Structure 1
Amino acid sequence: MLDTHARKYVQPMFDKTGKWLLKKGLTANQVTVISFVIGSTTGVFYYFEYTWIALLVLWLSGFLDAVDGTMARNTKTSPFGTVMDVTFDRIVEISVILGIAFRHPEVQWALLLLSVSIIVSMTIFLTVGAVSEKQGMKSFYYQAGLAERTEGFILFSFMMVLEPFVLWVTLIFFIIELYTGFQRFFEAKRILQ
């Protein structure tokens, strides 16, 4: 929801950073890889109880993930860049989930439910993007929903910072993600039939 509706307020920051990185000679795909490398360390930092560093690398990778898309749209998008971006985003999320699971084994069952809900929601999102003739500002049809990447980062952050409530935040995240999956499924039925 925030990625769709609040983007206009932060887009100038992404534009400015993207232009600066392009002037430094970096490509959108290179920034995607940098974002991935930084973000995939989140779970490791969290597991070893460097919670604030985990939060920093998570949000830095998210920022660079938004910048790389801006860079691609200002230069030339590539289908492989889109594949890298979507794949690396999921690996960063997996890193966070694994870091939390290994540090808090008592909530692994809830993290499994959360993972299933993310898989279902992303499957619908990516399938609709692949089969839809609609095009958005991204290289495929972007299906908005209650839980988009920013909401996920906020909830992952709460899971890491509010350790006594990690189970409850995980279950709330699961419900929000499940709702988003249903929301996207019914939108798909409406726009694809």
Structure 2
Amino acid sequence: MLDRHIRPFIDPPLNRLGRQFALMGFSANMVTLAGLALGLAAALAIVFEAFILAVLFILASRLADGLDGAVARVRGVTDFGGYLDITCDYVFYAAIPLAFIMLDPQSHGVVGAFLLLSFYVNAGSFLGFAVLAEKQKMRSDAHGVKSLYFTGGLLEGTETIVFFLLLCLFPAAFVPLALGFAVLCLVTAFARVLLAAKVFQD
């Protein structure tokens, strides 16, 4: 919901930084993998209850996630780069809830599993829409230049990052925060299914 509104503010500095990274010889895929490594480091920090460190790793990871696209726009966008980016994103999105489950399996297990289920359903609705949008030759740059068609929704990348940061800042509130976010994820997926039913009528 917020992604398209913050892009005009974050894209210009990211593009400038991306040009510098490209000139230094970094590829977009290298930045993508560095972002994943930072995200996994955040998950590990959560398991060891180093929550402030986890916040820093999450912020650095998502900076890299935005920066890889800026580098790609300088060095050339590739289909594999887009594929690698979305794959690494979903690994990161799963790793943070898993870390909280590992932190306290007894208290966090069921709600954490429900949260992961909601992510899975939401991801399926997103990727399925993207496949059909490509088949229909649909194009949109509302979320920036992407290798996949991005549908908006109640919850997008910005809201997910804010949610992860809240979990790290208030770990004792994991259960109510995760439960509420999971429900909103399912609402987002359901709304996308309704949109698909309207857009992709035979």
Give the TM-score category using the shorter length. Answer: over 0.9
- Between the aligned partners of 2:28 and 2:192, the Cα distance in structure 1 is 28
Residues 43-76 of structure 1 show CA distances to partners (whole Å, capped at 9, x for unaligned) of 1111111111111111111111011112223332
Match of 1:159 in 2: 167
CA contact (8 A) 1:114 1:171 kept: yes
Matched-pair identity in %: 27
Match of 1:8 in 2: 8
- Between the aligned partners of 1:135 and 1:76, the Cα distance in structure 2 is 19
Q: Does 1:37 align with 2:2?
A: no
Match of 2:180 in 1: 172
Across the aligned residues of Structure 1 and Structure 2, the Cα RMSD in angstroms comes to 1.2
Match of 1:112 in 2: 113
- Between the aligned partners of 2:147 and 2:91, the Cα distance in structure 1 is 20
Within 5 Å, give how 1:34-183 maps onto structure 2: 34-105=34-105, 106-132=107-133, 133-136=137-140, 137-183=145-191
- Between the aligned partners of 1:99 and 1:168, the Cα distance in structure 2 is 17
- Between the aligned partners of 2:79 and 2:128, the Cα distance in structure 1 is 15
- Between the aligned partners of 1:191 and 1:54, the Cα distance in structure 2 is 40
TM-score by length of 1: 0.95
CA contact (8 A) 1:41 1:95 kept: no
CA contact (8 A) 2:19 2:70 kept: no
Residues 15-67 of structure 1 show CA distances to partners (whole Å, capped at 9, x for unaligned) of 12111111111111111111111111111111111111111111111111011
- Between the aligned partners of 1:74 and 1:126, the Cα distance in structure 2 is 26
- Between the aligned partners of 1:126 and 1:74, the Cα distance in structure 2 is 26
Match of 2:196 in 1: 188
- Greater Cα offset, 47-56 or 158-167: 158-167
- Between the aligned partners of 1:172 and 1:71, the Cα distance in structure 2 is 35
* Secondary structure, aligned partner of 1:141: coil
CA contact (8 A) 1:124 1:181 kept: yes
TM-score by length of 2: 0.91
Q: What is the CA-CA distance between 1:123 and the residue it aligns to? A: 0.7
- Between the aligned partners of 2:47 and 2:82, the Cα distance in structure 1 is 30
- Between the aligned partners of 1:131 and 1:75, the Cα distance in structure 2 is 28
- Between the aligned partners of 2:154 and 2:75, the Cα distance in structure 1 is 30
The 1:9–1:187 alpha-carbon spacing in structure 2 relative to 1, beyond 3 Å, is same
Q: What is the CA-CA distance between 1:164 and the residue it aligns to? A: 2.3
* Secondary structure, aligned partner of 2:49: coil
